[in-house]
Chain A
Amino acid sequence: MNPQSCVHIHKEWDIVGARQLGREMAKEIGFSTVDQARIATAISELARNIYLYADQGKISYEIIYNNSRTGLCLIAEDEGPGISDISQVMEDGFTTSGGLGAGLPGVKRLMDEFEAYSEIGKGTTIKTVKWLR
């Protein structure tokens, strides 16, 4: 895979940039306003996790094609502490922030495909795709 664009996350402000780029690309591909908002929210969650738990990392964006479908693929990567139990984190009701809905399970809901890889001490990679309907 050859990412077309990428946003580095160091400070909270970068989350806004990451959302913005994602929304612009989504709009360009032809996603509806609702889906644009969903993609931006998913990026927000991923970027905020990087900012909060890994200190820094990046989000890459790629327009992908599969048969006749077009999609937007997001990859969030960091070299932070990693997540020890991804299954647990993916359970509803787990978020440490105590809020409802958001977090990684939220990202999975907002998008169509979701994969997470993480190794303790090495970092976390989350890949997620939304297909144009």
Chain B
Amino acid sequence: MENFFKEKADEYKKLLAEYIEFQDEKALYGVELVSKAFIKHNILPEEIVNIHIKALKELYPDLFASFEHSLDFLLEAMISYGLAHQEIQNLREQQIALKSEISVAAQMQKTLLKTKKPDIAGLDIGVISVPANQMNGDYYSFLQNLDGTIGIAMADVIGKGVPAALCMSMIKYSLDSLPKESTPPPVILGNLNRVVERNTESNMFITMMYGEYNPETGKLVYSFAGHEPGYYYCADEDRFTEFSTAGLVLGVSEDVEYEQAEIEIAKNDMIVLMTDGVTECRDGDRFIEIDEVFDVIRQYLHLSAQDMVQEVYRYFERLQDFQLQDDFSLLILRKTV
């Protein structure tokens, strides 16, 4: 370090002398390189001013005293810049560390919240969930009951990022602890509501949809807790119909009774579930209309459900210049027999 410093100081002096004599660009290029080497070795601005002063004094031993004082003055003024530089440097390192910590957490979250897509004859399921930042505040899960029915859960923590993601683990473990038996959706939402209400700050809310699909009958029994409505696509009429039930978001009040409703779907019909990250996609200043989602889905009807959701995501990702405003989750379930 001492050596480096001395070597660079000498080089600086040589370049300075050259420049004073010839004002050539080569010397300026030289000082650019020296200056970069200084930055790389964390040499602070006041030290560079000091190198300058020393070099000048050596080159011109009888420098004006007032000129010399002016350089001392400049050195003094640089001290605070040196401090600011060090602070920014430190904050930058902290930020890098933080980022990598979050990415480890995000990876861990992915593993924790993983759910297996049921593989059932006559049923084509596609699902995608992409966080706006690193951690996801949306969650979906499939539960396979012993009687052959499938539980489908989709949830969205109001808010995003790390707190939302932490909160989501709670939903996952509550769902995991359910018996593997068909349970009415309002009972499930009622239970989860109590768990969320008891275990979170009063400013944490979760919207959720829970449905139980019977592959034998094509019937979906469902219940909503303030969640984005679902859509039923009737293939015969090529029409989307909204479905939902009234119900308070999870975590607001302890005792909430949720409602139940049902629909029956036929061959080639679809059930589409999403979070508000889909409907609140923005094209410039304009929020998209739900019809735009339908139109995009229609374009890809010939694909498998998984390819369909992926294409829809890609469409809206592009529309938003690849910067999601909110976590984006979309689930499509198509009856194929």
Question: Chain A interface (Cβ within 8 Å of chain B)?
Answer: 32-34, 37-38, 40-41, 92-93, 99-102, 105-106, 109-110
Chain B interface main SS type: helix
Told that A32-B50, A106-B87 touch, could you supply 8 new A-B pairs with CB distance under 8 A? A33-B53, A37-B75, A37-B76, A40-B76, A41-B83, A92-B94, A100-B84, A100-B88
Whether the Cβ atoms of B91 and A34 lie closer than 8 Å is no
Q: Decide yes or no whether B100 CB sits under 8 A from chain A.
A: no
Q: Decide yes or no whether B80 CB sits under 8 A from chain A.
A: yes
Q: How far is the CB of B130 from chain A (nearest CB, A)?
A: 31
Q: Decide yes or no whether B90 CB sits under 8 A from chain A.
A: yes
Residue from the list B72, B76, B85, B94 in contact with A101, Cβ < 8 A: B85
Interface centre among B53, B80, B83 (most CB of A within 10 A): B83
Whether the Cβ atoms of B46 and A37 lie closer than 8 Å is yes
Q: A38 CA to B47 CA in the complex, in Å?
A: 11
Q: Known: A41-B80, A92-B94. Contact between A34 and B50, CB under 8 A?
A: yes
What residues of chain A lie closer than 8 Å to B88, measured between beta carbons?
100
What residues of chain B lie closer than 8 Å to A110, measured between beta carbons?
79, 83
Q: Decide yes or no whether B103 CB sits under 8 A from chain A.
A: no
Chain A interface main SS type: helix
What is the 8 Å Cβ interface bit string for chain B, positions 74-105, against chain A (1 contact, 0 not)? 01100111111111101100100000000000
Q: A100 CA to B87 CA in the complex, in Å?
A: 7
What residues of chain A lie closer than 8 Å to B75, measured between beta carbons?
33-34, 37
Residue from the list A93, A99, A106 in contact with B91, Cβ < 8 A: A93
What residues of chain B lie closer than 8 Å to A106, measured between beta carbons?
83, 87
* B84 closest partner in A (C-beta): A101
Q: A38 CA to B82 CA in the complex, in Å?
A: 10
Per the CB 8 Å criterion, the residue count for chain B at the interface is: 20
Can you sample 5 A-B contacts with CB below 8 Å?
A37-B75, A38-B79, A101-B81, A105-B87, A110-B79
Nearest 8 CB-CB pairings of A with B:
A101-B84, A101-B83, A100-B84, A106-B83, A41-B79, A101-B87, A34-B50, A92-B87
Q: How far is the CB of B87 from chain A (nearest CB, A)?
A: 5
Q: A72 CA to B85 CA in the complex, in Å?
A: 25
Q: How far is the CB of B84 from chain A (nearest CB, A)?
A: 3
Q: A100 CA to B92 CA in the complex, in Å?
A: 13
Q: How far is the CB of B56 from chain A (nearest CB, A)?
A: 13
Whether the Cβ atoms of B80 and A101 lie closer than 8 Å is yes
What residues of chain A lie closer than 8 Å to B46, measured between beta carbons?
34, 37-38
* B85 closest partner in A (C-beta): A101
Q: How far is the CB of B334 from chain A (nearest CB, A)?
A: 51
Q: A109 CA to B79 CA in the complex, in Å?
A: 11
* A110 closest partner in B (C-beta): B83
* A109 closest partner in B (C-beta): B86
Q: How far is the CB of A96 from chain B (nearest CB, A)?
A: 15
